[in-house]
Amino acid sequence: MRKYYLFLCLLLIILELSAFQVYLPEGQVKEITKEDLNQEKLVTFITVRDKDGGQKEETWQGIPLISWLNSLTSSSWQNLQIESNDNYQLTFHRLELDDNNAYLALKLGAEDLSEYNIRLIFTRYRENAWMRNIKCLRLLGFIPMPKPRQIYFWDKGLQKNGIDLKSGAIAMKDLMQKGFGLGSGDLIFVDEQFRKLCFNYPREIANASLFMDSRRQYFLVPEPSSALKISFENDLSRVIYIQCGAIAYLTEDAIENIAEIGKTLNWNWKSEYLYFIRAEKKQIKIGDKPSDINEDCWLEF
């Protein structure tokens, strides 16, 4: 009985010392204490918010959130999920946040904040995106989506579904509704360097478009007012593959790279062949490009 009592006391002490938990993409859970946070270098930042009928400016000291989270793991992650002890939850895409936007605030003015009052502050978002009484932060990696049932050829497939390519831009709303027949869902993009990003529509990329350059190459570009910032150099360059649910679109010049795309997206698929459908099913070797592609063609596994 005495051992049980001592164990319970020790557990309560650990819980009291722990400010919150961080779930890492590799499956580990890291207990973060107030002492851990106090060892970090603090920066000063200012917020302005509406309060008591006027605007109130406040000076905080805290830790730039994204660089600190990146220091905890060597794995890449795509979304940050935040949960409070009263079950309030927020999710942000990694590309919505940067070190000039997201802070873990430890001081308000000269006053140290308690474990309960440590705040996550997002300076570019309204105040109801702030959070205190933090329970945990979850760094979510890329979640594989099963390989699609049909892969359509990009220009011909989109045009057949009523998307006008002459303007040089495809709004995400048109792509979702006409290209995939859906009002919401997770969109997976793969670029020519076989980098992948997953975004939720409409939450993350409602205000984004696929822009076509003079060489008929497509790039995902958010509106200037969007919080989403995509770097062509580091995040996503020319898009060659898009999937939502059971449907996907592939540029014709990327057919020979379908095996590499599958590897990038963690498909459970090992074969030397897939099927080219044009009136009748025809088996083709992986990497071969059919010579008779039109708007009524697609690929199947």
Model confidence at 8: pLDDT above 80:
no
Q: Same domain, yes or no, for 98 and 156?
A: no
162 and 262 in a single domain? The answer is yes
- Highest mean pLDDT, choosing among 113-122, 158-167, 194-203: 194-203
Shared domain check, 112 and 214: no
Same domain, 131 and 155: no
* Sign of the alpha-carbon torsion through 215, 188, 221, 165: positive
Q: Which pLDDT value is given to residue 56?
A: 84
pLDDT of 42: 95
Q: Are residues 132 and 159 in the same domain?
A: no
Q: Provide the residue range defining the domain that includes 89.
A: 17-140
| Of 90, 106, 140, the domain-final residue | 140
pLDDT digits (tens, 9 = 90+) for 98-110: 877 899 999 999 9
pLDDT digits (tens, 9 = 90+) for 257-279: 999 999 999 998 888 899 999 87
Give the pLDDT band (50/70/90) at residue 167: confident
**Average pLDDT for 6-33:** 71
pLDDT band of 11, cuts 50, 70, 90? very low
Amino acid type, 281: K
Same domain, 162 and 82: no
Average pLDDT over residues 22-27: 93
Task: Evaluate if residue 14 carries a pLDDT over 50.
Answer: no
Q: Is the pLDDT of residue 144 over 90?
A: no
96 and 48 belong to one structural domain: yes
What average pLDDT is seen over the chain? 89
Q: Domain of 57: which CATH number?
A: 3.90.420.10
One domain for residues 156 and 250: yes
Residue 30 has pLDDT above 50, yes or no: yes
158 with 280, same domain?
yes
> Token match 């831009």: residue?
169
Q: What is the per-residue pLDDT for 19?
A: 80
The answer to whether residue 109 sits within a structural domain is yes
Confidence band, pLDDT 50/70/90 cuts, at residue 222: very high
Shared domain for 97 and 181, answered yes or no, is: no
| Secondary structure string (H, E, C) spanning the chain | CHHHHHHHHHHHHHHHHEEEEEECCCCCEEEEEHHHHHCCCCEEEEEEEEECCEEEEEEEEEEEHHHHHHHHCCCCCCEEEEEECCCCEEEEEHHHCCCCCEEEEEEECCEECCCCCCEEEECCCCHHHCECCEEEEEEECCCCCCCCCEEEEHHHHHHHCCCCCCCCEEEHHHHHHHHHCCCCEEEEEEECCCCEEEEEECCCCCCEEEEECCCCCEEEEECCCCCCCCCCCCCCCCEEEEEECCEEEECHHHHHHHHHHHHHCCCCCCCCEEEEEECEEEEEECCCCCCCCCCCCEEEC
Instruction: pLDDT band for 123, please (50, 70, 90 cuts).
Output: confident
The number of folded domains in the chain is 2
On the question of pLDDT at 224 being above 70, the answer is yes
Per-residue pLDDT at 12: 43
